[in-house]
Copies of this chain bind each other. A is one copy, B any other.
Amino acid sequence: MSSGADDARTAHRPSAPARPGLRERKKAKTRAAIQRHALRLFKKRGYDETTVEDIAEAAEVSPSTFFRYFPTKEDVVMYDVFDPVLLASLRSQPRGLDPVRAMRAAMRQVFRDMDEEDREDLLEREALFRLVPDLRARMMDELLRTVSVLARIIAERTGRRAGDLGVRVVAGAIIGALISAWLTEEGESLGVDTYRGMDRALEKLESGLSL
């Protein structure tokens, strides 16, 4: 998500035509630079071994500025994790599919439509999440939010209240199964493999939990 011409993507919906605003453009560029250098350094020297000051220096801004763009060091990696894109895709799935199948279809679509650069970016972050406890923990917490959003979407699709226990259980189970598949015990982390694993996890879910 970071590189190239993605000015409008950050805050507002794609519906509004791109609105330059020279100030905004500079901001987007700074943000992208910080993030790009941060990820590069994390990859090269490790997360804990890279200080905010290092990142700031590499991106040619002051530490203060770093924190104006990202509330915490974690957030540099965090941003954009389990995307809105996926959830949007999920919303657009045909009404007929039950939640698990719909999720599966949405994942396939998103994964297919992702270009190479984004995919590598995702892998990069995935490795960090696996490896760095603070980031992993933070990601898990973000997933709580994802469960809520997922519940809302499922509720829409099935005409129930988002608070309905059944709905929340399904949402939780889906996310839980995905995470568990992502875990892969002794984590290898190949991109396609990860997707494969998650897809197969949902396939299992489709056929129930009986064992």
Contact = CB atoms under 8 A, between A and B. Distances in A.
Interface stretch (A24-32, A39-47, A81-89, A203-211): A203-211
A170 interface: yes
B211 A209 contact: no
B181 A177 contact: no
Nearest to A179: B172
Copies of this chain in its oligomeric complex: 2
A136 interface: yes
B166 A204 contact: yes
Interface residues of A, number: 47
Interface in A154-193: 154, 158, 160, 162-163, 165-181, 183, 185
10 contacts: A136-B141, A140-B140, A147-B179, A147-B180, A167-B211, A168-B201, A169-B180, A169-B181, A171-B180, A173-B176
Interface of A: 98-100, 133, 136-138, 140-141, 143-144, 147-148, 151, 154, 158, 160, 162-163, 165-181, 183, 185, 197, 200-201, 204-205, 208-211
